[in-house]
Copies of this chain bind each other. A is one copy, B any other.
Amino acid sequence: MTLMNGNQYKESLKKMRPNIYKFGELIEDVTTHAATRLHVESVAHAYDMAFDEKKSPLYTTISFLSGEKAHRWNTLMTSMEDIVGNADMKRDQYRWSGTCTGATCAGWTVLSALWDATFQCDKENGTNYHERLKNYMMHVEDNALALVGAITDAKGNRSLKPSQQSNPDSYLHIKERRADGVVISGYKIQICGTAAAHELVFIPTSGYGADDADFCVAGAIPKDAPGITIIETRRPSDERDLEEGWDAPKVGNITQAYILFEDVFVPNERLFLCGEFKYSGKIIGDFAAIYRAAIGACVAGQGDIMIGAAINMARANGLSQKTFQTTLNEMAIKNEITYGLGLGAMVKGKKTASGTFIPSPLLAHTNKTQVAKLPYDVKVMAQDISGGIAETGCMPPYADFQHPEYGKKLIETLTAGTDGESRARAARLVEWLTVGGGIPGCMHGGGSPDGAKLVVKALTKWEDHASDAKRIAGITADLAEPPKK
């Protein structure tokens, strides 16, 4: 089976061992529990789209491995078109739920990032990671899996390396090497979409040297593998997901988890890196280039919903969209910048020897700097247009609107260009998008903008520019950097 639909997907999740907690309690069924079901719904929608005539070209593609049609997030990215498809699918997903669909995103990208690194490693070291990865990808495709990318380690003290940390679990690491595999322990945190995934794909969070070789481990395991405990994070106003009513939209939502690995066994056939530190930097580099080229589409998709939400609020207030057209236009422009700049990174991408396609790191990381900036402007504009009840959701809770004595009057307070309930819903959406549960964490998600700036610094040809400028200015003096004192 290469393709499955949303219901099949949900059934498959139900079969897994419950090992996810929130608010101190075990979640027995992620497909129905209020804390996780919305993300599952988002992912189920993506599965369903494989069977939607109009949308299937976005949500499926022809697998490079099998030559068959597969869910897009189950295939290797081998061309500019594949990365463009990644971006366009994400924008469409954001437009559907208003927020991130993690379980069809990072895990997939991790596999494409491992592809060339394992190829190189095998070539230089005689390992057979690439073959294992290929087999795993066929397994993923055959079973139409949802994957999470477990990347971010707990990290501990940021001024120390992994091996220098007082607690080795600050980074996921190899604890024991056995003939048939390895035992790993450590903490991966802030992992998006875990609740809705079947398996976890893990890689090191950064590039390391020989001292940190034990922290250079990559592989894949089922989410419910023995030794895995998952605790969901608490996002802004996420209690509202647990409630009846309209205080938060109930179409789809994200989850973020802390994953505790305690003596987890990874069999050899699921190990894709095991101490070969030399390739750790390349893996995260290729991951970041793909991810940060596509992330502009995510925030653009959410920005599209902010535009729509702001228009709805204007009308709910009795006003025309035209009143705010200048600001709306500015929102659209900012959305297209992150989207289009990411596409630009794809144009300047390159094919690897092993067949993957990696966008221009310079342009992808430039895009990340803007993803950490422009969506925030768009949020402020959405709040500006929408007015006080949207800005901080400055309305009584749903429960009060149901109150037998004053509930009806409360509804009257909100009635304006439309009925009070519709206006409350419109305002709560703006709140949810800008200061509520719908915020996807675009600043540090997939890595921080400071890291992106370091890449821009590393890849800009400062001396070439200085030399060109010297020539144009007619300067013949040396003009080198002054000596360090």
Contacts and interface: CB of A to CB of B under 8 A. Distances in A.
A412 B187 contact: yes
A135 interface: no
A379 B305 CA distance: 22
Nearest to A402: B24
A236 B383 CA distance: 14
A467 B315 CA distance: 12
Give the copy number: 4
Contacts of A369: 333
A251 B360 CA distance: 32
A316 interface: yes
Contacts of A389: 189-190
7 contacts: A23-B399, A24-B399, A152-B388, A158-B317, A169-B409, A336-B366, A372-B380
Contact of A315 (B98, B340, B481): B481
A426 B154 contact: no
A397 interface: yes
Interface string A315-346: 11111110001101100110011011111111
Interface string A342-374: 111111100000000000101100110110110
Interface string A454-475: 0011001010111111111111
Given A159-B318, A333-B369, A373-B380, 5 more contacts: A21-B396, A190-B388, A336-B362, A336-B363, A344-B347
A384 B13 CA distance: 35
Size range of the chain A interface in the assembly: 35 or more
A397 B326 CA distance: 37
Contacts of A337: 337, 341, 366, 370
Interface in A4-29: 21-24
Rank and list the top 9 A-B pairs by shortest CB-CB distance, nearest first: A308-B469, A340-B344, A308-B465, A343-B344, A157-B318, A388-B444, A429-B473, A422-B477, A24-B399
Interface stretch (A47-55, A215-223, A227-235): A227-235
B332 A456 contact: yes
A428 B475 CA distance: 11
A237 interface: yes
Interface in A397-456: 397, 399-400, 402-403, 405-406, 409-410, 412-419, 422, 425-426, 428-429, 431, 435-436, 439, 441, 443-445, 448-450, 453, 456
Interface stretch (A65-73, A109-117, A242-250, A265-273): A242-250
A21 B339 contact: no
B319 A158 contact: yes
A31 interface: no
A159 B319 contact: yes
Given A159-B417, A400-B24, A409-B260, A465 B340 contact: no
A476 interface: yes
Contacts of A97: 472
Given A23-B399, A311-B462, A470-B308, A443 B373 contact: no
A1 interface: no
A314 B247 CA distance: 34
A21 B400 contact: yes
Interface string A269-298: 000000000000000000000000000000
A307 interface: yes
Contacts of A372: 380, 384
Interface core residue of A154, A337, A340, A399 (most chain B CB under 10 Å): A340
A479 interface: yes
Contacts of A469: 98, 305, 307-309, 311-312, 426, 429
B321 A418 contact: no
A443 B333 contact: no
B344 A472 contact: no
A396 B45 CA distance: 27
B387 A380 contact: no
A394 interface: yes
